[in-house]
């Protein structure tokens, strides 16, 4: 697959998972005593997913990057899309003017 196709597919997957990661974490961890773990677990999960996606799709990292470098780059992509996904979901639910 070409680099641009890798990036397009990877960004689409990370955007969708970024939008779903916070509600999924909240669903699992929304109990007394564990509610403070929702955001850290979401960020950790998205970093892991980003690393896995970037290792699987090498076009998302710099050309010629090794597996470790791709995983680190993917972790940053995952964190970026975790924030982006939450913002996109918030705007979709509340609109541009806010809640």
- Tell me the domain boundaries of the chain: 3-94
Q: What pTM value is reported for the model?
A: 0.86
Instruction: Give 10-56 pLDDT, tens digit per residue.
Output: 999 999 999 999 899 989 998 899 889 988 999 999 999 999 999 99
| HEC per residue, the chain | CCHHHHHHHHHHHHHHHHHHHHHHHHHHHCCCCCHHHHHHHHHHHHHHHHHHHHHHCHHHCCCCCCHHHHHHHHHHHHHHHHHHHHHHHHHHHHCCCCC
Instruction: Give 53-91 pLDDT, tens digit per residue.
Output: 999 998 888 888 888 999 999 999 999 999 998 888 888
């Amino acid at each position: 697959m070409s680099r641009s196709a890798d990036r397009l597919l990877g960004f689409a997957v990370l955007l969708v998972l970024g939008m779903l990661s916070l509600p999924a974490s909240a669903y699992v961890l929304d109990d007394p005593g564990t509610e403070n773990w929702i955001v850290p677990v979401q960020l950790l999960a998205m970093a892991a997913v980003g690393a896995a996606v970037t290792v699987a799709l090498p076009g998302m990292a710099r050309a010629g990057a090794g597996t470790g470098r791709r995983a680190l780059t993917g972790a940053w992509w995952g964190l970026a899309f975790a924030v982006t996904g939450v913002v996109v979901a918030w705007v979709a639910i509340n609109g541009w003017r806010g809640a």
